[in-house]
Amino acid sequence: MSKTYWKGVEELRNDAEFVRLKNNEFPEHLPLDEVLGEKAADITTTPRRDFLKFLGFSVAAASLAACEAPVRKTIPYLVKPEQVTPGVADWYASTYFDGYDYSSILVKTREGRPIKIEGNVLSGVTKGGVNARVQASVLSLYDSARLKNPVADGGPSTWANVDGAIKSKLDELAAKKGNIRILSSTIISPSTRSIIKEFASKYPTTKHITYDAVSCSAMLQANKESFGVEAIPSYNFDKANVIVAFDCDFLVNWISPIEHSRLYAETRKLNNGKKEMSRHIQFESALSLTGSNADKRIGIKPSMQGAAIANLYNAVAKLAGVSTVNAASVGENQKDIEATAKELWENKGKSVVVCGINHVAIQNLVNGMNSLLGNYGTTVDLDNPCMLRQGNDAELASLMDEMNKGEVAALFIYNSNPVYTLSNSFAEALKKVSLSVSFSDRADETASQCKFICPDHHQLESWGDAEPKKDQYSLTQPTIAPLFSTRQFQESLLVWSGNAITNYHDYLKSYWKEFFFKNAPLSIATEDHWNKLLQSGVFGGALMPAKNYQSSANLNTSADAVSKMSGSGIEMVVYEKTGIGNGLQANNPWLQELPDPVSKVTWDNYLAVSPKDAREKGWLQGNVVQVKANGNTVKVPVFIQPGQMPGTVSLAIGYGRTKTGKVADNVGVNAYVFASMIGGNLSYSASGVEISKTTDEDHVLATTQSHHTMMGRAIVKETTLEEYIRKPNAGNEEELFAVRVGKEEVKKTAKEVNLWDDHAEGNHHWGMSIDLNSCIGCGSCVVACTAENNVAVVGKAEVIRSREMHWMRIDRYFSSDADPKEGEKGDIKKMENPSDMPKVVFQPVMCQHCAHAPCETVCPVIATSHSSEGMNQMIYNRCVGTRYCANNCPYKVRRFNWFKYSDNAKFDFNMNDDLGKMVLNPDVVVRSRGVMEKCSLCVQRIQEVKLNAKRDGRTVKDGEVKTACSQSCPTQAITFGDYKVKDSELNKMWKPEERSYHLLEELDVQPNVFYQTKVRNVEEEKHS
């Protein structure tokens, strides 16, 4: 028996009162009835004390209600759509092709809105790669400049009216046997080609002309002459030991850059003890992104490129023991050319020569060279040709001819803007066409001059298919219902040609079913099969075995044609910028604000001139000059570009739009006017350029980086391949510091010295590795980060004030002639000046998530703190905005909201209208004015993966979390992972005795992000 304890003497006595209270849960009388009961309402008297309470309460309640922020209601689904779960993203496989960029993509949708584009790893072509333009295209979906309904004669119309008018006109023209022409950029969709064919069979006078604004038609022609195959080969850069490129920006612009950059990076990575890398030699006049990544870069004027190629051919031919061709002298470059030939020859069958010049004779010589080197069948694959450029310049020329003669009765313009890209000559010719129809999504330069605009869906609203490479397919499916009253181009044609199926989706399905039936291995043409295809997005047979080809073109004739090429005076290169490309997506503020990787200029194009010319001619940065070439004149600001070949200038296309929307209208000048038809092909260079200074006020260019050298600091550590082979930590030798332990002085590395206590660690310790050897600086990660994290666009004026908001930036440094040797101090003034022909390095920098973060200690309100998973976290709600953290950040990655960037007419970009706001990622808050923000290592993605793992009762798998930047990197230079997982990819990268290092490690802030030294395959050092 346990003892009995009494609560009190009352229990012992067992009083009647006690017994009564014991059964009561609340021993004292509670005045609930008075307050809540029916009687309460009857009480009319308010005692004095209660009066004051009531008064106080009501005043407080009234004032609190007045303080409350306006309520924005979220309305839940009454009937929830099957596939939509609020808060959970749906992913759809699709395809992006806009006539210029191609990628198989995955589209992330949230509550029915596409918000992000990522690469589809199942694709055999792009292999999960995307670039800045493809990723930014999700914002173009929500472009307020898009047409909301069809347009007839400049005014809004309906589809029924437009269809009626066009059909009757077509029938009328067909009766008169008037010529009908369809002008489009490259179409890689087999079903679309079939629809056009059907349309042509209904209206037999129809002819389809393919015109690419950035044309490769000379390559098609040259391949036909050389090998009898009118196709563009696939380039297997991954199989090349030596890559030689002539005026060819193959990493970001040329033909299939996403594919190229991934293959190229494979030859540049030195992970897991690999000791070999490719050697890349670039001959060019303007400093392209590809050229900046080259091991050796040789400046050649556009007019001398032909001669250089001919001489290189001869040098290779001599080594091969075959006859040489005529070649003009290239002067002092001959030595480099012969050295290059030697390297090529030593790597026969493992080398590749590529050339971006749209000139048949030159391309013939390049083909000849590749076939002498035995590259066909290994690095150059003509049996699985690339379909991404099919433009035929000769057909375009004959179309213009016909139009001028008034022989074209009807012109349908699809995915092409010839009034902009071909300037006034096309506009004049267009006036002579009686039925002109544009399928543009906006009333652009061409569409606004057409009788009808039948706006096409955005890619993300469309169905479709694509064949980027022969027999490699990718499907497009809509990820959102059409936002406006638009209709797909294919559907319009189906309607007008009176096809039995007018729904393109049905047409597509039946087209493919037929295809599957025809192709034995794919003959299970069920609905299920179709759905599976849609789910994976891609399919294709095995690649054809690549064969060796011998050029059968008459190279002597080609060489003679080349030797006749000449240039005089200043020569100009018309090039594409990494962000804006051909200008199709110019109205995309993400792309406008993406700094050009090489010049770091946003929101503008400019005349890039060499530092030498600028010194001699007295041009200063921002001076407005008048440029005259090919009979056209533009006024454009000067930008002094180290690496630009003296005697040449360059100007980017894609700018100078006039009718594309509020973002891009009148930004920069139109450089397409300087592209001219030479020898039947569009030539993107001009010679005899006259440049004269004007008295116009200087134009301020918005650059995000105004200082170009590393000032002799070990920021990007680099070494040469040979050094690296000899000593894996070459260029990354750890510095030892004298430290006193007790009375003894010992030498320790920065990492071993620690004045601080370490943070407590949780289950994860996230970190990131950035391989500077495979980063090509393309800016894909910057756009990915912008899209993922709702980073605000601030516009040109604010970029000029150095207030861009990018959480992630790519620092670009040029070498300086005055760069001192390590440890020595140089002339600081001279060190600020880059070399005229510098070496270039790129370094992506985002928050380094320091373990001993300088920002954390200085914040007075603990708005930035350390997580148990190693991340430095920014708590926006708590931030009062002292900016002390930004001052104290050695990496300068913190970004302050100087203004309210959303719902503010002064920042009239996507966050200022309801349509544009649909692109925002609901997992990431839009920051308010006056708070600091910065990279969070995509904490929302980490959280999602962790929650999924928790739900499934497992641990997070290595590589399961990918930050937006690491996911989007086309060269996979960024690895994200967990230090706590022993064999994680991240830990495999972290070998401090080799190439890994922390940026500014001497500060001992112990970043969780680390870099790996850049290794150059440089010749000079090789022989010294």
Partner 1 sequence: MSNQAAVIESTVRDPLILGKKDYHQITEDICRPVEGKANKYWWIAFIIAFTTMIWGILCLAYTIGNGIGSWGLNKTVGWAWDITNFVWWIGIGHAGTLISAILLLFRQRWRMSINRSAEAMTIFAVICAGLFPVFHTGRPWLDYWMLPLPNQFGSLWVNFNSPLLWDVFAISTYFSVSLVFWYLGLIPDLATIRDRCVTPTRKFIYGLLAFGWKGTARDWLRFEEVSLVLAGLSTPLVLSVHTIVSFDFATSIVPGWHTTIFPPYFVAGAIFSGFAMVLTLMIIARKVLSLEQYITIQHIELMNKIIILTGSIVGVAYLTEFFMAWYSGVQYESYAFMNRAFGPYWWAYWSMMTCNVITPQLFWVKKIRTSVLATFIISIFVNIGMWFERFVIIVTSIHRDYLPSSWTMYSPTFIEVGIFVGTIGLFFTCFLVFARVFPVIALNELKTILKKTGNQYKKKGTY
Binding site for partner 1 (CB under 8 A): 705-713, 715, 798, 801-804, 809, 811-813, 825, 828-829, 843, 845, 854, 857-862, 878-884, 886-888, 890-892, 894-900, 928-932, 999-1000, 1003, 1005
Instruction: Tell me whether residue 283 or residue 891 sits nearer to partner 1 (CB atom).
Output: 891
Residue 843 beta carbon to partner 1: minimum distance, rounded to whole angstroms: 8
Residue 804 beta carbon to partner 1: minimum distance, rounded to whole angstroms: 7
Question: Which strand (E) or helix (H) includes residue 305?
Answer: helix 302-320
Instruction: Tell me whether residue 798 or residue 994 sits nearer to partner 1 (CB atom).
Output: 798
Tokens found for residue 947: 């929650």
Instruction: Tell me whether residue 333 or residue 816 sits nearer to partner 1 (CB atom).
Output: 816
Residue 628 beta carbon to partner 1: minimum distance, rounded to whole angstroms: 34
In this structure, are residues 866 and 853 in contact, taking their beta carbons and an 8 Å threshold? Answer: yes
CA-to-CA dists, residue 295 to 110, 281, 778, 779, 839, angstroms: 44, 6, 17, 20, 9
The H helix count followed by the E strand count for the chain is 32, 43
CA-to-CA dists, residue 773 to 264, 579, 777, angstroms: 11, 22, 10
Residue 849 beta carbon to partner 1: minimum distance, rounded to whole angstroms: 16
Q: Distance between CA 637 and CA 669 in Å, rounded?
A: 10
**Which residues have C-beta within 8 Å of that of residue 749, sequence separation ≥ 6?**
734, 735, 736, 737
Residue 884 beta carbon to partner 1: minimum distance, rounded to whole angstroms: 6
Q: Distance between CA 302 and CA 305 in Å, rounded?
A: 5
Residue 638 beta carbon to partner 1: minimum distance, rounded to whole angstroms: 20
In this structure, are residues 249 and 576 in contact, taking their beta carbons and an 8 Å threshold? Answer: yes
SS3 string of 235-274? ECHHHCCEEEEECCCCCCCCCCHHHHHHHHHHCCCCCCCC
- The count of other CB atoms within 10 Å of the CB of residue 622 is 15
- The count of other CB atoms within 10 Å of the CB of residue 1019 is 18
In sequence order, what are the beta bridge partners of 208?
182
Instruction: Tell me whether residue 179 or residue 709 sits nearer to partner 1 (CB atom).
Output: 709
Task: Work out whether strand 632-640 and strand 702-703 pair parallel, antiparallel, or are unpaired.
Answer: unpaired
Instruction: Tell me whether residue 410 or residue 799 sits nearer to partner 1 (CB atom).
Output: 799
Instruction: Tell me whether residue 19 or residue 861 sits nearer to partner 1 (CB atom).
Output: 861
Residue 967 beta carbon to partner 1: minimum distance, rounded to whole angstroms: 24
* Biggest alpha carbon–alpha carbon distance for the chain: 126
Instruction: Tell me whether residue 586 or residue 855 sits nearer to partner 1 (CB atom).
Output: 855
Instruction: Tell me whether residue 482 or residue 854 sits nearer to partner 1 (CB atom).
Output: 854
Q: Distance between CA 83 and CA 89 in Å, rounded?
A: 10
Which 3 state secondary structure label does DSSP give 104? Answer: strand
Instruction: Tell me whether residue 302 or residue 795 sits nearer to partner 1 (CB atom).
Output: 795
Residue 878 beta carbon to partner 1: minimum distance, rounded to whole angstroms: 7
Question: Which strand (E) or helix (H) includes residue 340?
Answer: helix 334-346
Residue 737 beta carbon to partner 1: minimum distance, rounded to whole angstroms: 11
Q: Distance between CA 449 and CA 519 in Å, rounded?
A: 44
Residue 35 beta carbon to partner 1: minimum distance, rounded to whole angstroms: 25
Residue 150 beta carbon to partner 1: minimum distance, rounded to whole angstroms: 42
In this structure, are residues 254 and 260 in contact, taking their beta carbons and an 8 Å threshold? Answer: yes
Residue 94 beta carbon to partner 1: minimum distance, rounded to whole angstroms: 36
Residue 282 CA from chain centroid, whole number:
23
Q: Distance between CA 298 and CA 280 in Å, rounded?
A: 11
Selection from 154, 116, 162, 161 nearest residue 135 by Cα: 116
Instruction: Tell me whether residue 38 or residue 824 sits nearer to partner 1 (CB atom).
Output: 824
Residue 2 beta carbon to partner 1: minimum distance, rounded to whole angstroms: 42
Residue type, 414: Y
Instruction: Tell me whether residue 708 or residue 995 sits nearer to partner 1 (CB atom).
Output: 708
Instruction: Tell me whether residue 159 or residue 898 sits nearer to partner 1 (CB atom).
Output: 898
| b/e map 86-119, b = 16+ CB within 10 Å | eeebeebbbbbbbbbbbbbbbbbbbbebbbbbbb
Residue 819 beta carbon to partner 1: minimum distance, rounded to whole angstroms: 12
In this structure, are residues 379 and 239 in contact, taking their beta carbons and an 8 Å threshold? Answer: yes
Residue 887 beta carbon to partner 1: minimum distance, rounded to whole angstroms: 5
In this structure, are residues 622 and 637 in contact, taking their beta carbons and an 8 Å threshold? Answer: yes
Instruction: Tell me whether residue 240 or residue 710 sits nearer to partner 1 (CB atom).
Output: 710
Instruction: Tell me whether residue 882 or residue 955 sits nearer to partner 1 (CB atom).
Output: 882
Residue 1003 beta carbon to partner 1: minimum distance, rounded to whole angstroms: 6
Which 3 state secondary structure label does DSSP give 376? Answer: strand
First vs last Cα of the chain: how many Å apart? 98
CA R_g for the chain: 33
Q: What is the DSSP letter of 763?
A: S
Residue 197 beta carbon to partner 1: minimum distance, rounded to whole angstroms: 53
CA-to-CA dists, residue 679 to 217, 218, 402, angstroms: 12, 10, 19
In this structure, are residues 497 and 180 in contact, taking their beta carbons and an 8 Å threshold? Answer: no
Residue 1007 beta carbon to partner 1: minimum distance, rounded to whole angstroms: 13
Instruction: Tell me whether residue 57 or residue 756 sits nearer to partner 1 (CB atom).
Output: 756
Instruction: Tell me whether residue 621 or residue 709 sits nearer to partner 1 (CB atom).
Output: 709
In this structure, are residues 636 and 607 in contact, taking their beta carbons and an 8 Å threshold? Answer: yes
Q: Distance between CA 653 and CA 421 in Å, rounded?
A: 9
In this structure, are residues 639 and 606 in contact, taking their beta carbons and an 8 Å threshold? Answer: yes
Instruction: Tell me whether residue 404 or residue 882 sits nearer to partner 1 (CB atom).
Output: 882
Instruction: Tell me whether residue 423 or residue 928 sits nearer to partner 1 (CB atom).
Output: 928
In this structure, are residues 993 and 729 in contact, taking their beta carbons and an 8 Å threshold? Answer: yes
Percent of the chain as helix, strand, coil, to the nearest 5: 30, 20, 50
